[in-house]
Chains A and B, each alone.
Chain A
Amino acid sequence: GAVVSQHPSWVICKSGTSVKIECRSLDFQATTMFWYRQFPKQSLMLMATSNEGSKATYEQGVEKDKFLINHASLTLSTLTVTSAHPEDSSFYICSAEPPGGETYNEQFFGPGTRLTVL
């Protein structure tokens, strides 16, 4: 099956620093990847849609200058949390959508990255 990895799995940083999270599709090419945020005991909130070779599409209320997304290749998307603050502490999950066939419109999720900002 399709596998999506994230790195790092957890990160602790000081307030004001920037953190980069990588999302990779390991055995398929993904023109579209998605970034979600999950608060404790809550659902996934879509932050943005990452499109290979073009700008990301952000959901309403998500600061594009704070959450920088780069989809540089068909297997890699990165999320950079700039000038992180404690309220940015959360679980960030990415997903990737294979190009079609039986898995059309199906997203495969990474294991998530736990960000803690001190």
Chain B
Amino acid sequence: AQSVSQHNHHVILSEAASLELGCNYSYGGTVNLFWYVQYPGQHLQLLLKYFSGDPLVKGIKGFEAEFIKSKFSFNLRKPSVQWSDTAEYFCAVALYSSASKIIFGSGTRLSIRP
């Protein structure tokens, strides 16, 4: 069965530190990839997405992610985090063959120390 793995369950960083959250998926076919963020008490918002083209995708709020097909990975990065980045981050994969169905990873809680 298809799955999405986020190995970091809880990451704690100080402000201005660099961030990288890992995401791996298991599916051999064509995929669309997403990172969603859920700020405390708010609903899920799309950070960025990859459908095709340049594997380095830039999203909102200074986030970017790189799709490495050979590693089945789509890691999220930000060079310098802010306290306001404290949130839950979800990697998600949509199987191209099933159009809309999205499979979410277990999420990574990011805590930023001011």
Q: Which residues of A contact B (CB under 8 A)?
A: 32, 34, 41-46, 49, 93, 95, 97, 104-112
Q: Is the CB of A111 within 8 A of B90?
A: no
Listed A/B pairs (27) with beta-carbon separation below 8 Å? A34-B100, A34-B102, A41-B107, A42-B106, A42-B107, A43-B90, A43-B106, A43-B107, A44-B90, A45-B104, A46-B102, A46-B103, A93-B44, A97-B100, A105-B32, A105-B51, A105-B94, A106-B34, A107-B100, A107-B102, A108-B46, A109-B36, A109-B43, A109-B44, A109-B45, A110-B43, A112-B43
List the B side residues contacting A43 at CB < 8 Å. Answer: 90, 104-107
Interface size of B in residues (CB-CB distance below 8 Å): 22
Which of these, A46, A95, A111, contacts B42 with CB under 8 Å?
A111
Interface residues of chain B: helix, strand, loop or mixed (majority): strand
Question: Which residue of chain A is the closest to B10 with respect to CB atoms?
Answer: A41
Q: Is the CB of B90 within 8 A of A105?
A: no
**Complex CA–CA separation, A95 to B46 (angstroms):** 12
**Complex CA–CA separation, A110 to B42 (angstroms):** 9
**Complex CA–CA separation, A32 to B94 (angstroms):** 15
Q: A34-B100, A93-B44 are in contact. Are A106 and B49 (CB under 8 A)?
A: yes
**Complex CA–CA separation, A108 to B100 (angstroms):** 12
List the B side residues contacting A44 at CB < 8 Å. Answer: 44, 90, 104
Highest count of chain B CB atoms <10 Å: which of A34, A49, A107: A107
Highest count of chain A CB atoms <10 Å: which of B44, B101, B103: B44
- Min Cβ gap A59→B in Å is 9
**Complex CA–CA separation, A68 to B114 (angstroms):** 45
List the A side residues contacting B36 at CB < 8 Å. Answer: 109
**Complex CA–CA separation, A105 to B97 (angstroms):** 11
